[in-house]
Structure 1
Amino acid sequence: MSNTQSRVCVIIAARNAARTIPAAIASALREPEAAEVVVVDDASTDDTAQVARAADDGSGRLSVMRLDINKGPSFARNAAIAGSTSPFISILDADDFFLEGRFRRLFASADWDFAADNIMLIRDDAATDVSKVVAPPFSADPEFLDLERFVEGNISRRRVQRGELGFLKPVISRAFLERHGLRYDESLRLGEDYELYARAVARGARFKVIRSCGYGAIVRADSLSGRHRTLDLKRLADADLALLKIDSLPETSKAVLRKHERHVRDKYRLRNFLDVKAERGLASAAAYALASQSNLIPIVRGVAADKLEALFRHAGLTSKRQKVPPMRFLMAANAATAEN
């Protein structure tokens, strides 16, 4: 694909990211395919916008928008999409970075509407100079995700390192978004990437994944994804119900969507039970749990699992907290051979 055809708008939604955003911007501007880098400061209370402007390399590709009211990443990304023109869109979180040559590898073929690569997950206390991080020599091993594989890949499991496919950061064809009228769901502040990707694949998007690595993500204990509200879980489960209304979906796709919806809804019910208990006491929480079997079963299972895990920790049978390695990868990959 030619440089003209592979022009990318990199979108960075940022809130209170003054410490990390210079490295994110620098990694985007380093990529020759990045024709636009749009930072949307989502009502930061620090000097994110000023720091972002100071990271300009003088090429004229960087622009910074500022929102006066915090609207969330979906709104910020949609604003950047509306204010940009490049034929491809790439999302970069404000504390993450691209590895050099990322777009060159993704644009090596043109047989996709969404194209994502592997993610290097680096623990925040193990992060060094991200500008010197080099992509590991993994084989591309390309595959295309169908809806069943994608949705199933977003069901997390207790005591398993998180690796949901919704964490992928694909390059997205603007033409596909326009053709199907797709944008980020601004009611979501959790799972907004998952919802957009799932809806796109349901509409026929060719979602290509390669195992070679081009995206670096800093894993922080205080990340936004770890601080979601109980209501965010309910809205994500409701988003699955909306996806189920797409008439063209085969029954196999609907079955896995229902499974994901139940998975998220059960998390919501447990969290809501704990919220009610904290706010109104055990009697009110018990009334909520006993209101229906749909409430009771996930609440009993969740509370029992939490209590059992705490008991095992107290007895020294498990570690006090799940160990996070200094570096890991979202998807398992094979070392590249000489032919690659």
Structure 2
Amino acid sequence: MVIAAFNAEESLVRAVESALAQTVPVEVIIVDDASGDQTLKLAFALMRAHPQVRILTSGANEGPSAARNKGIVAARGEWIAILDADDAFAPERLRQLMMLGERHDADMVADNLCLYDWNADRVVGTALPQPGEVVRHIHPVDFVRNAITGQSRFDFGQLKPMFRRRFMMTRCLRYPPDLRHGEDFALMFDCLLADARFILTSEAYYLFTQRHGSISAQASGQSRTHLNLHAMRDHSLALLDRPRVRGDRRLTALLNRRARAIGQQLSWSRAYPHLRARQPLALMGAMMREWSNWPMLARHLFRRWQNRGMMIRGVQADRSNLSNSTLS
């Protein structure tokens, strides 16, 4: 298991402890990406306390792709799981995914995500519906169709699959080292182009920390992602030159659609700060300059309405639990 950590002193212990709590033997590789806080000190304390923990370091901050690649090369297990330093695993995650991987002879196995509100300290839902245990075989077209940034119900590029080490090594597959945003999509797509057998279960075992909490309505403060929509869009467009993509009209159309959607997100990223700052005139100016911002605004308001409903239901549930405990 590989944990890339950069200035993660508030979350690293939680992440590592969730890894050590797995119901199968694990090797935990922490890759410190030149942190400037107490992350490395905490990592060494964890290593001294747990023989399963190993530490790698970077001389300079190189980003999550390069850090994870160091861990992938150093890993010795049959499966390689990636855990972000601000996230956590449910105790049964690796056992369940390994069983699925062996049952389906898969090269990649991913699960649904539990959406975790850091400030509220609670799971607020799942990224995908849970209609019972449903297992899907994911193919390149299906993957990209569900990774249209800002438009897909949930972006499959945010999944955190477990990779079969033999598959990764024999095909020399790694994260693009110069990509700091959208790197998960890039590696998964490369694996699929290399004919990986990719399995996705609707069961959720990965606790994914929301950048902005659905219930608390507060930023988690834990994400270290350097947003770079330009690089994400350029990467999607560069994929169009791959021989496997050029020969597939559906993939070509979907990657072009993804690139356009990222461009719309880029435009919205210039308008959204005015909305957050309650600057109506500046917001209106940004909306008028880029008409693609209007559907983005509509989606944002709809999601905020959904989150408000989730927050109200959470408060009601808390009150109900308090009332029941008082009565008992």
Give the TM-score normalised by the residue count of structure 2.
0.74
* 1:241 CA displacement: 2.1
1:19-30 aligned at under 5 Å gives the runs 19-30=10-21
164 and 305 in structure 1: CA distance in 2 versus 1, 3 angstrom threshold: closer
Structure 2 counterpart of 1:107, from 90, 95, 98? 98
Number of residue pairs aligned between Structure 1 and Structure 2: 282
Q: List gaps (5 residues or longer) in structure 2.
A: 124-129, 212-218, 274-285, 314-328
Percent of residue pairs bearing the same amino acid type: 30
Give the structure 2 partner of residue 94 of structure 1.
85
1:1-340 aligned at under 5 Å gives the runs 10-56=1-47, 58-109=49-100, 110=102, 111-127=105-121, 139-157=132-150, 163-220=154-211, 221-222=219-220, 228-229=226-227, 232-249=228-245, 250-268=248-266, 271=269, 300-304=290-294, 323=308, 325=310
* 1:103 CA displacement: 1.4
CA contact (8 A) 1:148 1:252 kept: yes
247 and 48 in structure 1: CA distance in 2 versus 1, 3 angstrom threshold: same
DSSP 3-state at the match of 1:169: coil
1:101-140 per-residue CA deviation (whole Å, 9 max, x = no partner) reads: 11111122422110011111111122169xxxxxxx9732
DSSP 3-state at the match of 2:241: coil
Give the structure 1 partner of residue 127 of structure 2.
none
- Tell me the distance in 2 between the aligned counterparts of 1:324 and 1:51: 38
1:57-113 per-residue CA deviation (whole Å, 9 max, x = no partner) reads: 745210122223111100100111122222211110111111011111112242211
- Tell me the distance in 2 between the aligned counterparts of 1:125 and 1:147: 36
> Which is bigger in relative contact order (C-alpha 8 A, separation at least 6)?
1
* 1:35 CA displacement: 3.1
83 and 319 in structure 1: CA distance in 2 versus 1, 3 angstrom threshold: closer
- Tell me the distance in 1 between the aligned counterparts of 2:178 and 2:86: 23
- Greater helix content: 2
CA contact (8 A) 2:180 2:225 kept: no
* 1:39 CA displacement: 0.7
- Tell me the distance in 1 between the aligned counterparts of 2:155 and 2:303: 24
**Structure 2 counterpart of 1:102, one-letter code:** R
CA contact (8 A) 1:113 1:176 kept: yes
Give the structure 2 partner of residue 132 of structure 1.
none
146 and 76 in structure 1: CA distance in 2 versus 1, 3 angstrom threshold: same
* 1:157 CA displacement: 3.7
Give the TM-score normalised by the residue count of structure 1.
0.72
* 1:34 CA displacement: 4.3
1:245-303 per-residue CA deviation (whole Å, 9 max, x = no partner) reads: 2212322122111111121133335657999xxxxxxxxxxxxxxxxxxxx99952145
DSSP 3-state at the match of 1:17: coil
DSSP 3-state at the match of 1:107: helix
327 and 26 in structure 1: CA distance in 2 versus 1, 3 angstrom threshold: farther
302 and 252 in structure 1: CA distance in 2 versus 1, 3 angstrom threshold: closer
139 and 272 in structure 1: CA distance in 2 versus 1, 3 angstrom threshold: closer
CA contact (8 A) 1:185 1:192 kept: yes
CA contact (8 A) 2:23 2:91 kept: no
Comparing 260-269 with 23-32, greater Cα deviation is found at 260-269
CA contact (8 A) 2:271 2:287 kept: no
Q: List gaps (5 residues or longer) in structure 1.
A: 1-9, 130-136, 276-295, 329-340
